[in-house]
Homo-oligomer: A and B are copies of this chain.
Amino acid sequence: MIIAMKQGAAPEAVRNFAAGLEKQGVKIHLSEGASQTVLGLVGDTTGIDEKALKAHHLVEKVIRVQEPYKRANRLFHPEDTRIDIRGGDSGVRHIGAGYLGIIAGPCSVETREQIIGIAQDVKQAGAGFLRGGAFKPRTSPYSFQGLGCEGLDLLMEAKQETGLPIVTELMAIHQLEVFDEVDIIQVGARNMQNFTLLKELGHCRKPILLKRGYAATITELLMAAEYIMAGGNEDIILCERGIRTFDSYTRNTLDLSSIPALKKLSHLPVIVDPSHATGISWMVPAMTKAAIAAGADGVMLEVHNDPENARCDGEQSITPAAFAALMEALRKYASIEGKNIGPAV
């Protein structure tokens, strides 16, 4: 971290200020110029509050050189992280470090026939994981809120039937009690900065799929991962799902540049959810291919056997047939990029 002091700041005041900083555990390299003194902070600056520094009357500008996260930082963990997940069968699937995770399924679990049918279809087409919502965050209190525990039970049946590991969203910490058989816990975009929840998940022993808040910066997403990792759980899968911009043609703006950015800054795997990002089913294949081309470690796709009558988000769901066709294309993309797309059963 570099702190440019105000021009004309009294040398003694600056030295006192520097001494105060050293008490926070960093070393200060102080360079007194003709008109301006600059402090270089050496050591672990993650605990130093940039904004507090800017409040000081002697300080002109502050630049953070080192990112404010440690465990999520590629600097201290140069190799890609690979997440290993065992499903209902004996197979282990991987996400990251050359393995693409293909997660597919309906927005919400509706009936036994629906979820098992879709699970069989997406498995057949090559998906590695089944998604489905049991507890649904809905903008309106009057909208369908998911089947809850009954939905979880149906997911478990689908897992037993197909062997596919299950990805589903947790909305509150007390739901952990019923998530025993869930394989990957999803934290939704609206909860990305629910810090109480993140801290609790740090003590959990399951991989977390952490969706980017729709107004979260790259750094904030990584800080949210850091909250979980600081508690001891380092199995985090980051998920880009679109950000909010002035453009209203798509529901959100899918920020595919975040993929190379996140992979440069962090060792964690990064997947993409083009269904929620665009909100438009006919756009999903193009944006899925683009995500893989940009270097994503996988995708999460909404697949529904009857999108028109889906109880939630039908307008962004593709059919099992469209999913199967897309998988054909993805295999070619994976091959070009040297990635393993098959569930390594």
Chain A residues within CB distance 8 Å of chain B: 2, 4, 29, 31, 33-36, 38, 40, 42, 46-47, 49, 51-52, 54-57, 60-61, 63, 65, 68-69, 137-144, 171-173, 190-191, 193-197, 199, 213-215, 217-220, 223, 226-227, 230, 243-250, 253-261, 264, 277-279, 281-283, 286-287, 289-295, 307-308, 310-317, 329, 332-333, 336
Contact = CB atoms under 8 A, between A and B. Distances in A.
Nearest to A194: B194
A29 B51 CA distance: 27
Given A253-B253, A255-B253, A261-B249, A55 B314 contact: yes
A312 B54 CA distance: 11
A281 to B, nearest CB: 8
Contacts of A260: 282-283, 286-287
Given A171-B196, A312-B52, A33 B31 contact: yes
A210 to B, nearest CB: 14
B61 A65 contact: yes
Contacts of A69: 140
Copies in the complex: 4
Nearest to A246: B244
B31 A31 contact: yes
Given A51-B315, A60-B65, A250-B261, 13 more contacts: A31-B40, A33-B40, A46-B140, A49-B312, A52-B311, A54-B315, A68-B140, A140-B226, A190-B194, A214-B215, A245-B246, A253-B257, A286-B295
Contact of A248 (B217, B223, B308): B217
Contact of A34 (B42, B219, B230, B244): B42
B257 A250 contact: yes
16 contacts: A2-B61, A49-B143, A52-B314, A55-B310, A140-B223, A141-B223, A213-B215, A245-B246, A247-B258, A250-B257, A260-B283, A260-B286, A286-B293, A287-B294, A289-B293, A290-B294
A86 to B, nearest CB: 29
Contacts of A308: 55-57
A259 to B, nearest CB: 7
Nearest to A196: B172
